[in-house]
Structure 1
Amino acid sequence: MVESLRGGVIGAGVFGGYHARQYARLDGVVLSAVLDPHPERAAQVALPLGGRAFNDLGAFLDAVDVVTIASPAVHHAPQALAAIGAGKAVYVEKPLAVTLADAAAIRQAAEGRGLIVACGHQERVVSRAMGLLDIPEQPIRLEALRHGPPSDRSRDVSSVLDLMIHDIDLALALSDAQPTAVTANTAATGIIDTARAEVRFDDGYIASFDVSRQASERRRTMKVVYPSGEVEIDFVARTFRNTTPFALDPAFAETPAGRDPLGASVEAFLDAVRGAAPRPVVTAEEAIAALDVALQVETAAGRA
């Protein structure tokens, strides 16, 4: 009988709790440990799920086989590199890192050790369940809007790395074309909470993005225009309108992946670690591509 993998989570915030519960409920893995600089927070997450609380990284890494990194984004790279150096596969919540050099170092270190790196772009799971990623045409235009009310979460990075990067990842996943030009603007005087950007691709495809962390309500929509029609998605209502000839699943929200995208993403990561799947939902290479465009948006907005 194959022993269960020992899962560990770095970060005992909201997303750390989500990941800890996935390790506690999925087959073939147990929640072994939660690491946080505040031991009482780590204990609050770990103990009810049968895990142990840690505030020492080395001891934590000795207690786990796979690691989820759900700490603030500025800590992703050093923690991921430490885990990989200890021989652990890693699932890193987006963004993979906050610089391209750090993201490339994560990929290189993992490749050198033959370890899996996954990144948490959950909209990939939803889009796959819908069938959007299987449309055989190349898109002509994409318009994405992602607004939410003010929050204390992810204040260490801009709304570009917090919110827009999800839609950038989808824009890249939907097309084989390569981005060639980025323009952006923001009204922010400090950290970017609202931003608009346009990315042009080498085949004429244009993707536009509108994000805000200062909105009065939560809105997440996307319109994708193809030569044969268009798809309009409301990610909050979990509905879509499709005028293309390609079938999409109207019941995608009721599929296992649609009901629990995070669970599907973590499960795919574990399958890749075990060799039961060729790759996680989002690879390090794909996460780096999305980060590259996101950082170009910040530069274009004058916040480099």
Structure 2
Amino acid sequence: MEEQFYLLWPLAVLLAAAVAVRRRIGVRRAVLVPFLVVAAASFTVGAALTASGSPAAYFVTPTRMWELAAGGLLAVLLADRQPPATIAAPLQVVGIALIATAAIGFTARTPMPGTAALLPVAGAVAVIAGGEVRGLRRIWALPPVRAVGAISYSLYLWHWPVIVFTRVLLERPLDVPTGGAVVVLSLLLATGSYLLVEGPLRRIPIRRAGRVVVVGVAASLLVAGGCALPILRSAAADADELGARAAVLQRQGPAIGWPQLTPVRTGRGPGRSTSSSRTRAPSRTTWRSAAAPSTRCPPPPRSASPATPAAGRRSRWSAIRTSVSGRRPSPASAGSGTGAS
């Protein structure tokens, strides 16, 4: 998210400054405009998506840009000024309290980033705005605090993959011991990447900027392609699975479920009235599935009236078997019911 923001933000600031110079207005006032517009629009979209429950509110860049725009606003406002000492110390204390409240009070049920994100963002803005406070400066100068600050960007890059892969491997939510192990592993990986990758790259002298840009673009495209391969393979696998399911259903016919049966009038019974008679024979009713109207069970064959009650029961059982199997019984089984045992 930060990289996408940093690609677009310098262009917006330079454009606002160029417009300010051409129209002879204050550059600071002009630069504040894109910050305010982006912050307001991004916060509105993020709050709306968070309220709707969409995961995009947390992961996509437009819904989180207001958090970075808050830092941009602070940088423009405090470019050549600092708050008075009487305000700086309370401001930092309030900021620390806001951050601690968010870290301790927020749970998995807290909707983020929505309006709840105002609490930690406002705390961070207050701490930065406080600047150099004599009493708190000793805390920020402690070696552990400085070390975490040095590896903060590497830690930001490492912590989320470690959390995700740990949950996938364990197949359960993280408890306190596992969460502690995740924190330790993230710190170790961040320290290693800071010492072996980030630090050496900063010390490399840039003699030919064009080659650096080409190499950077090529590396970015390579990483993007590598990340896109699993997504494309997953999409192809989903398409193949849907095709296989459709082929199976097409061969086997409609799936067996609990269809909603509705009575459909299919015609008159066998005893049709003549033109001279005005009495109509009752129509025959067939139960047809509303989900599959083209699939209709054949009606049971009509047989002669049974001579005895036992023969009648066998005849009805034979008719039920015929309606289930779809085959017509032989005259012997229909009349005597010998195959109904």
The TM-score, its normalising length taken from structure 1, stands at 0.24
Q: Which structure would you say has the larger RCO, counting Cα contacts within 8 Å and 6 or more residues apart?
A: 1
The TM-score, its normalising length taken from structure 2, stands at 0.22
Give the structure with the larger strand fraction.
1
Give the structure with the larger helix fraction.
2
